[in-house]
């Protein structure tokens, strides 16, 4: 794995508002504590989500962008970017790879965190089609697109974006995690981030208990002491 001291910038690429907060906000909070710069890139605005049916789609998109910015602040992240693709309709595509490669070259992260592109047969929720499409395209953007100056030459020609090699990717939501981060001391901030998504979680009874149970189970799987919470990732070396 990449030594912690070599992680100075992290880019988190997700499909929807709230994905990063379920999968990785505790780990993000701990990175921010160490002075790491973290950027969020959201492929959609999550305009097909929510419980409130009086809003039209455009209202939901703006509301969810605002909720994600609030959630980001709860863990110390202020750089939040949106690509504006349509929620529920994301497919792996050349255009999406280029959009993600562009931000990789802008941010120049050491580590990218994104969705696992494979279907998890133990638990369907992490395998939303948008998640799989974003995870696959983000991995393709990491290798080969962002590091190959001949891929999307317009990024260099028109925007001056030099090739960049991301050295490691952490995948969320997969069935074969191999790295667990103890997020116990960041659990309050992770919960605050999750609860910032008022349109998604305010109506969910027992939400806090649900989250605590789920992340305590990861800690248990990792062999951490009882009363601890963990986030789980599959680490992919990409140097
Ligand atoms: Zn999602």
* Predicted pLDDT at 58: 65
* Cα 97 to averaged position of ligand 1 atoms, centre (Å): 18
What DSSP state is assigned to residue 56? -
Instruction: Take residue 79 and report the two structure tokens written for it.
Output: 């750089």
pLDDT for the residue numbered 47: 85
Q: What is the 34 CA–ligand 1 centroid distance (Å)?
A: 27
Q: Tell which residue, 85, 89, 91, 81, has the closest CA to residue 13.
A: 81
Ligand 1 centroid, distance to 18 Cα (angstroms)? 7
Instruction: For residue 89, give the H/E element and its range.
Output: none
- CB-based contact 195:201 (threshold 8 Å): yes
Alpha-carbon distance 177 to 82, whole Å?
Answer: 27
- 15 C-alpha vs ligand 1 centroid, how far in Å? 5
**Global pTM value:** 0.96
Q: Which residues contact 131 (CB under 8 A, 6 or more apart)?
A: 14, 15, 19, 115, 116, 173
- How far is ligand 1, taken at its centre, from the CA of residue 5, in Å? 30
Tally the C-alpha atoms within 13 A of residue 138's C-alpha that lie toward its C-beta: 34
Copy the structure tokens of residue 95: 């255009």
User: From CA 112, how far away is CA 166, in angstroms rounded?
Assistant: 7
Q: What is the pLDDT of residue 175?
A: 95
What is the mean pLDDT for each group of 10 consecutive residues in the chain (239 residues)? 97 97 98 98 87 66 95 98 95 97 98 98 93 98 98 98 98 97 98 96 94 97 97 98
> According to the model, what pLDDT value does residue 55 have?
59
If you compute the radius of gyration of the chain from its CA atoms, what whole number of angstroms results?
17
Q: What is the 220 CA–ligand 1 centroid distance (Å)?
A: 25
pLDDT of residue 57: 66
The rounded Å distance from CA 154 to ligand 1 centre is 30
């Amino acid at each position: 794995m990449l030594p912690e001291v070599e992680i100075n910038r992290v880019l988190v690429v997700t499909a929807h508002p709230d994905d990063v907060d379920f999968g990785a906000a505790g780990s993000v909070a701990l990175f921010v504590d160490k002075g790491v710069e973290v950027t969020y890139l959201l492929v959609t605005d999550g305009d097909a989500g929510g419980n409130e049916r009086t809003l039209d789609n455009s209202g939901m998109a703006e509301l969810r962008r605002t909720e994600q910015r609030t959630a980001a602040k709860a863990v110390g992240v202020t750089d939040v970017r949106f690509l504006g693709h349509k929620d529920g309709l994301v497919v792996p595509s050349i255009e999406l790879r280029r959009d993600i490669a562009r931000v990789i070259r802008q941010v120049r992260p050491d580590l990218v965190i994104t969705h696992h592109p494979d279907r998890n047969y133990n638990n369907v929720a992490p395998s939303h089609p948008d998640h799989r499409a974003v995870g696959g395209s983000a991995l393709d953007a990491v290798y080969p697109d962002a590091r190959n100056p001949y891929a999307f030459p317009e990024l260099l020609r028109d925007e001056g974006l030099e090739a960049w090699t991301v050295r490691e990717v952490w995948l969320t939501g997969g069935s074969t995690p191999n790295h667990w981060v103890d997020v116990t001391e960041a659990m309050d901030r992770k919960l605050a981030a999750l609860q910032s998504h008022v349109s998604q979680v305010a109506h969910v009874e027992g939400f806090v208990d649900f989250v605590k149970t789920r992340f305590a189970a990861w800690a248990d799987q990792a062999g951490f002491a009882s009363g601890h919470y963990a986030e789980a990732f599959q680490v992919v070396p990409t140097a």
